[in-house]
Amino acid sequence: MSPSVRPPALAASLFPASGTDAGGRDRLISALRERVPDAARDAVRQIERDLPVYVRAHDARCARTLAFSIEWAIGHFVDLLGDPDLPSAAVTEHFRRIGAAEARRGRSLEPLQAAFRIGAGVAIRRLTEGAELLDAPVTSATVVRMTQAMLGYLDQLASAAAEGHAGDGARQAGRLQARRRALLDKLIEPDPELAHIRLLAAECDWPVPRTAAAVALSGQPGERAPRPALPPDALVGLHRNEPCLIVPDPDGPGRRRALDTALAGRTAAIGPTMPVTRCALSLRLAHDALALVREGVISAPSPVTAADHIPATLIGQSPT
């Protein structure tokens, strides 16, 4: 859980030590509390105007959550002005969960951070306007401290949201990796059903290609070899006893060059391009070619193209 919010600007008194009684302070805080609902509504309207992409991406329930969150954040800020030691764990946790929800939707933090900035600007403007209209002794220095406090406060709420986003994003990435591994395992089974492939592919947002090629890699499972910088649609099987890759549409423009670059410095063999349901055969031929590389029978630069050495893989000797 994120630490409670404690903006440094709130550690000192909001008012100068001299010339301010407790009654004046209490009147100001009470008046600011009355302005919180209006400030929150104005902030939501401004976000809707300035950030329509963010608002449209949410359903009605999320829109209500946005309004509730803004009002709670501004209201808690005003409460902290009156009592800097007020517990803030609940509001901090709320914004951590908002960040986690953004990660689950596959959204970056940029729209949420933009909404924070917009909301902060509106809140500062409305609260300082309210403070300046009161009979209580509010100096320009007081307004400056209030502004600094608001910015520090919202920065810490944004940090809580970022923490939640990162945590849930990592869990999402782990689940996606597990699904992609399951898909790879299915693809290299003998004669997998296309319907099953499509089902597993849908679970990890992998477009099913017409063709694919398997790549056999040197190394052992768990070996700390550098991870190849592969195209994002390549499936990585470094968890297997015999590490491998599945590369969709390997004959597409620039694909082979990108694969050669990614595998530079690593001993590997690329299997023939085949229909996506024949990845097992492509991988078997790639393994056969890789074995001949290890034995010194094939001396071509890595990554070796298995299709160029089919005779050698069939008879166990280099081509004449």
Please provide the DSSP assignment of the chain as one string: -PPPP--GGGSS-SS-SSS--HHHHHHHHHHHHHHHHHHHHHHHHHHHHH-HHHHHTS-HHHHHHHHHHHHHHHHHHHHHHH-TTS--HHHHHHHHHHHHHHHHTT--SHHHHHHHHHHHHHHHHHHHHHHHTSSS---HHHHHHHHHHHHHHHHHHHHHHHHHHHHHHHHHHHHHHHHHHHHHHHHTSSS--HHHHHHHHHHTT-PPPSEEEEEEE-S-TT--PPPP---TT-EEETTSSS-EEEEESTTSTTHHHHHHHHTTTS-EEEPPPEEGGGHHHHHHHHHHHHHHHHHTS--SPSSEEGGGGHHHHHHTS---
Identify the structural domains of the chain with CATH numbers, from first to last: 8-175 (1.10.490.10), 194-315 (no CATH)
pLDDT band at 3; cut points 50, 70, 90: very low
For residue 134, what pLDDT is reported?
Answer: 64
CB contact set of 59 (below 8 Å; sequence gap of 6+): none
Please provide the DSSP assignment of 256-268 as one string: HHHHHHHTTTS-E
* Least confident piece of the model among 5-9, 27-31, 136-140, 202-206: 5-9
Return d(Cα 81, Cα 149) in angstroms, integer: 9
Compute the Cα dihedral for 87, 91, 95, 97 and give only its sign: positive
pLDDT tens per residue, range 141-157: 767 777 788 888 888 89
For residue 306, what pLDDT is reported?
Answer: 87
pLDDT tens per residue, range 239-268: 888 999 999 999 988 888 888 888 888 889
Alpha carbon 257 to its chain centroid, in Å, reads 29
- The two tokens of residue 48 are 């809707």
Fill in the amino acid letter for 259. Answer: L
Q: What is the mean pLDDT of residues 36-40?
A: 90
For residue 230, what pLDDT is reported?
Answer: 80
Percent of all residues in the chain with a pLDDT value above 90, rounded to a whole number: 25
pLDDT tens per residue, range 50-83: 877 666 555 566 678 888 889 999 999 988 888 8
pLDDT tens per residue, range 196-218: 999 999 988 899 999 999 999 98
Return d(Cα 218, Cα 302) in angstroms, integer: 11
For residue 245, what pLDDT is reported?
Answer: 95
For residue 98, what pLDDT is reported?
Answer: 87
For residue 5, what pLDDT is reported?
Answer: 52
For residue 318, what pLDDT is reported?
Answer: 44
For residue 228, what pLDDT is reported?
Answer: 59
User: Do residues 127 and 32 make contact, with C-beta atoms less than 8 angstroms apart?
Assistant: yes
Average pLDDT, the chain: 80
pLDDT tens per residue, range 260-314: 888 888 889 999 999 999 999 999 999 999 998 888 888 778 899 888 877 666 6
User: Do residues 259 and 215 make contact, with C-beta atoms less than 8 angstroms apart?
Assistant: yes
For residue 19, what pLDDT is reported?
Answer: 46
Question: Which residue from 177, 176, 196 is spatially nearest to 186, judged by alpha carbons?
Answer: 196
* Least confident piece of the model among 102-106, 124-128, 135-139, 209-213: 135-139
CB contact set of 20 (below 8 Å; sequence gap of 6+): 137
For residue 11, what pLDDT is reported?
Answer: 36
Q: What is the mean pLDDT of residues 162-179?
A: 80
For residue 22, what pLDDT is reported?
Answer: 62
* Least confident piece of the model among 26-40, 90-104, 168-182, 257-271: 168-182
For residue 59, what pLDDT is reported?
Answer: 57
